[in-house]
Amino acid sequence: MVDVSGKVATARAATAECRVRFPVDVADQLHRNGLKSAKGGIVDTAIIAGTMAVKRTHELIPFCHPLPIDGIRFAIDWHDARTLRIECTVRTVHRTGVEMEALTGATVAALTVYDMCKALSHAIVLGPAKLVGKRGGKRDVGKVAGKEKTP
């Protein structure tokens, strides 16, 4: 692991997203059923799974530091008629950022959506998964929680 003991603890945040693209018939069925499958509510289950994943990122990614997580926010909604957009924002006050936690939360939430819908089709496609933005540390990148980065 990188030694961060010499860094100052600052407020940090990161937002990541992952998309889930469904075949037309599956998307139509999910629209009709209010994003519910035979296993239950897709969005609520994805948020729970993503939250659990954020908290355990350091156990999944070998060189991630265990971090105190101050906040996790998910936004899950249709990007278009066939694509669900999952956004995860994570906040902490620490010496290192939370990009990996946000990416882990978004992707595990997407995997959970796949699991909840795979009985409908195995042609569901995940991705892209990407960092939308981060704030804190040496530099800000992109957008975090709907706010433009400040120069």
Q: How far apart are CA 79 and CA 151, in angstroms?
A: 29
Residue 148 pairs in a beta bridge with none
Tell me which of 25, 44, 80, 115 is the catalytic residue: 115
Q: How far apart are CA 36 and CA 20, in angstroms?
A: 15
Considering only CA atoms, which of 145, 139, 123 is closest in space to residue 17?
145
Active site residue 115: yes
Show which residues are catalytic: 115
